[in-house]
Amino acid sequence: MAPWWHSAVVYQIYPRSFADSDGDGIGDIPGIVAHLDHLSALGVDVVWLSPVYRSPMDDNGYDISDYSDVDPLFGTLADLDALIAGLHSRGMKLVMDLVVNHTSDEHPWFVESRDTSSPKRDWYLWRAAREGHEPGTPGAAPTNWGSFFSGSGWQFDPATSQYYLHLFSPKQPDLNWENPAVRQAMYQMMRDWVDRGVDGFRMDVINLISKTYPLTDGPVNGPDGLCYDPSLVVEGPRLHEFLQEMNREVGISANDLFSVGEMILVNADQARSHTDAAARELGMVFTFEHMNVDSGPTGLKWDVIPLHLPALKANLAQWQYGLAERGWNSLYFENHDQPRSVSRFGDDGPEFRVASAKTLATTLHLLKGTPYVYQGQELGMTNAGFTDIGQYNDLETLRFYTEALSDGADPAELMAAIAFKSRDNARTPMQWDATPKAGFTTGEPWLRVTPNHDQVNAAAAIADPGSVFHHYRALIDLRHRLEVVRQGRFALLLPDDEHLFCYSRTLGDEVLLVVANWSSAPVPLPASDLPSLDGAQVLLGTHEVTSGDLAAWESRIYKLA
Ligand code: TEU
């Protein structure tokens, strides 16, 4: 029998930006509890909560200093218990974010590890300077690795004349998973959360936990003479072993817990090897491949090129085919690290914002896998529209800006790339209503509320049967009702068409046909290249069906006769 999460739709909450209950301008857990009916109305089954643990908030909680407590910014353990109870009583589950590749540099483990004689020294990756180099001088870092957040991946510690590895910010030192005590500490922590009522985990950059030793230089591809090629650090030789051990020790498969591993650079074959039920590792993984189709030859996210629809279709299809028999897909166009999909892939102008947000949703939600809705995506929320670097908060954005400027980049070009791709696009406050702070807070929001909240907000969307919200509700309902949506075989149609995204789903003699116009102009449906629509019934569409042509950003789900 298929596991329960094959029928589930997940809603991601970025707590800092969801709802503020106490007027400090930062979202919190009581704020979430106050909005659970919004989630029930949408019909989602699972909430993935981005980190709420104690943290210095260098990376908004992805730098954890205490895995067993809630940060006072977000509330208390009692608030979390209330959230779990509130979700469970509405038939929903809670998945916690699990950030175990690194801790905060303020975690007591790391503080202890700064002492060379501490047993905790070996919990992190401390290394001497490159041979023949004076420690702490330029070029003396142990390897030439750049961090995912720009600049060297090594931080020099003058007290011991050694460096520690941080694949993300210097305040996020990487743990040494070779050390069994590290692994056991993590499994214990996970068991404690499960005992508290948590239903599973979203595992941050989990394919970085096993490193390939010895750590060696890679090919230089950064303007600063560093190597930014992640292939050096992903999918290390003990990854399968560690994931299997974690699964066993925490009882993930045994207790039917939810698990999704975020995996940088993962391909469909690797994903299958991690999500095949027989492997007893993970339920599903998050790929980045389809998020890179609008990156240029460098592969870097800031190197923006226009979307070429056939490339996106080819990639999504490759994953649909690759995980058709064994393994399972996660389906997403947005999360807290990605810009808003309606601004990125759709048309966020007044004429087509609603239709394009709906059509992106149709396209994603009829695929096979577990769909994820990121807060505000169900409203068709847009990018932030910031024009000044001072409006941004995200450390990835700010570090990139500073580094790129010092490498001689053109400021106007940088600002354009940042406006399109910055993570802050997804992190502006949730738009609940048309009041000045969008109903998010009574105080000063930590990040500017997007001005279009007077139009784009939950209250307006719920009141309007033609809204993006009600389209999501209908898509989620369709998945819950129809086995063919959950388990049907996928086939891509018209792979080379630059405007149409069409595919079929088949289960026994039941066939669904999805046709979606990903463009701001009408497109005729090429009847001769599609299955016959004679007697077909439209299960859900974005427009009144008037002809065989698709209007700009129109999509339809047909049940074929
Ligand atoms: O993201 C991993 C990751 O690869 C991102 O840094 C990604 O490269 C970037 O955001 C794309 O713009 C996870 C979390 O989702 C992210 O929020 C954290 O900052 C990061 O890990 C470190 O924990």
* DSSP secondary structure of 386-438: --SGGG---HHHHHHHHHHHHTT--HHHHHHHHHHH-GGGGTSPP--SSSTTT
pLDDT of residue 314: 98
Percent of the chain exceeding pLDDT 90 equals: 98
Percent of the chain exceeding pLDDT 70 equals: 100
pLDDT of residue 69: 98
pLDDT at 539 > cutoff 80: yes
Q: Which helix (H) or strand (E) holds 510?
A: strand 510-517
pLDDT at 79 > cutoff 90: yes
User: Which ligand 1 atom is at minimum distance from the Cα of 288?
Assistant: 4
pLDDT at 546 > cutoff 90: no
pLDDT of residue 165: 98
Domains observed in the chain: 108-165 (3.90.400.10), 482-559 (2.60.40.1180)
Give the mean pLDDT of 504-514: 98
Q: Is 423 in the pocket of ligand 1 (CB under 6 A)?
A: yes
List the structure tokens of 318.
């490759």
For residue 548, what pLDDT band results from cuts at 50, 70 and 90? confident
pLDDT at 547 > cutoff 80: no
Give the Å distance between the CA of 338 and the centre of ligand 1.
Answer: 9
pLDDT of residue 293: 97
Give the mean pLDDT of 431-440: 98
Q: Is 59 in the pocket of ligand 1 (CB under 6 A)?
A: yes
Give the Å distance between the CA of 205 and the centre of ligand 1.
Answer: 7
List the structure tokens of 377.
């995506």
For residue 357, what pLDDT band results from cuts at 50, 70 and 90? very high
Token pair 């591993």: residue: 261
Torsion sign (Cα): 348, 423, 68, 187: positive
Q: Encode burial over 99-125: b for 16+ CB neighbours within 10 A, e otherwise.
A: bbbbbbbbbebbeebbeeeeebbebbb
pLDDT at 500 > cutoff 90: yes
Q: Is 125 in the pocket of ligand 1 (CB under 6 A)?
A: no
Token pair 């992805």: residue: 62
Based on the residue annotation, tell me whether 59 is a catalytic residue of this protein: no
Based on the residue annotation, tell me whether 204 is a catalytic residue of this protein: yes
Distance in Å from the first CA to the final CA of the chain: 28
Q: Give the model confidence (pLDDT) of 117-151 as tens digits.
A: 999 999 999 999 999 999 999 999 999 999 999 99
CB atoms within 10 A of CB 177: 22
List the structure tokens of 455.
């139009």
Q: Is 99 in the pocket of ligand 1 (CB under 6 A)?
A: yes
Predicted structure pTM score: 0.98
pLDDT of residue 299: 82
Q: Is 400 in the pocket of ligand 1 (CB under 6 A)?
A: no
Q: Provide CB contacts within 8 A for 401, sequence distance 6+.
A: 389, 392, 414, 418
Give the mean pLDDT of 275-286: 98
Q: Give the model confidence (pLDDT) of 180-237 as tens digits.
A: 999 999 999 999 999 999 999 999 999 999 999 999 999 999 889 999 999 999 999 9
For residue 298, what pLDDT band results from cuts at 50, 70 and 90? confident
pLDDT of residue 240: 98
Give the separation between CA 511 and CA 529, rounded to whole angstroms.
16
Give the Å distance between the CA of 226 and the centre of ligand 1.
Answer: 19
Please state, rounded to an integer, the average pLDDT across all residues of the chain.
97
Angle, CA 60 vertex, CA 58 and CA 64 arms, to 5°: 75
